[in-house]
């Protein structure tokens, strides 16, 4: 089982590689469509702007390669931007098309969000927060409802239809913090920065990818 992490010039690649090594899996690094060919599953991490991510993927020819892998049913883990680009478009710095593998869009957190005590919440949403499990997925096996994960983002996904949603999180409003569909699991949080629970998600992905 060969799992590749897609390197498009953005994101915390080394942190992801280190985290997978901690659960006993060395990843390949794919920077071109040709380097993706031999992989059985894929991880696409990312931190930064949606538009920059899509431009970098397109300039390397990786956007079409990712879509081909998704259509072929290869297991895919999207982290942060790797989740967001699966959708049709983002409102970040104007409307930017995504991969449109899933229906829905990416929108900013509203201004003036407040917690349950009335305190104003800062954007980006940064730090630890808990997840609420909405449906069952292999990626979250052994992860309890209310587990805490690390977030850093100013935008959130709004899927078309609740059937995609596996977890939600509260930050002045309830937002979607992970989704799953067929061969895809995407999370807004960063499992590679989320301690034992994050490593459990990565370990689950490896097991799931191996079975598929």
* 8 Å CB contact between 178 and 166: yes
SS3 for 204? helix
- Point out the catalytic residue in the list 53, 80, 92, 153: 80
Indicate the DSSP class of residue 120.
B
Query: Torsion angle, CA of 197/198/202/203, rounded to 10 degrees?
Result: -20
Please confirm, yes or no, whether 80 is among the known catalytic residues.
yes
Catalytic residue among 53, 101, 134, 192: 192
Question: How long is the chain?
Answer: 212
* Cα 130 to Cα 149: distance, rounded to the nearest angstrom: 6
**Does 125 participate in catalysis according to the annotation?**
no
**Which residues, other chains included, contact 202 with Cβ-Cβ below 8 Å and sequence gap of 6+?**
19, 20, 23, 25, 77, 191, 192
Catalytic residue chosen out of the listed positions 101, 125, 153, 190: 190
Q: At what angle do helices 62-71 and 50-59 cross, to 10 degrees?
A: 90
- Say how far apart CA 13 and CA 7 lie, in whole Å: 7
Residues catalogued as catalytic: 80, 190, 192
């Amino acid at each position: 089982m060969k799992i590749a992490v897609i390197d498009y010039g953005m994101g915390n690649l080394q942190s992801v590689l280190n985290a997978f090594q901690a659960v006993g899996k060395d990843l390949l690094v794919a920077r071109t469509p040709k380097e993706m060919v031999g992989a059985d599953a894929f991880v696409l991490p990312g931190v930064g702007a949606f538009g920059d991510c899509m431009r970098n993927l397109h300039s390397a020819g990786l956007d079409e390669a990712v879509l081909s892998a998704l259509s072929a049913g290869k297991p895919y883990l999207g982290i942060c931007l790797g989740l967001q680009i699966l959708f049709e478009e983002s409102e970040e710095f104007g409307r930017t098309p995504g991969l449109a593998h899933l229906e829905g869009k990416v929108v900013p957190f509203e201004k003036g969000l407040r917690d349950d005590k009335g305190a104003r919440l800062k954007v980006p949403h940064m730090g630890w927060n808990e997840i609420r499990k909405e449906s069952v997925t292999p990626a979250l096996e052994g992860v309890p409802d209310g587990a805490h994960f690390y977030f850093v983002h100013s935008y959130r996904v709004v899927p078309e239809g609740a059937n995609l949603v596996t977890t939600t999180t509260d930050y002045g409003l309830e937002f979607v913090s992970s989704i799953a569909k067929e061969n895809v699991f995407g999370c807004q949080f960063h499992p590679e920065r989320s301690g034992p629970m994050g490593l459990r998600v990565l370990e689950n992905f490896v097991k799931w990818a191996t079975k598929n």
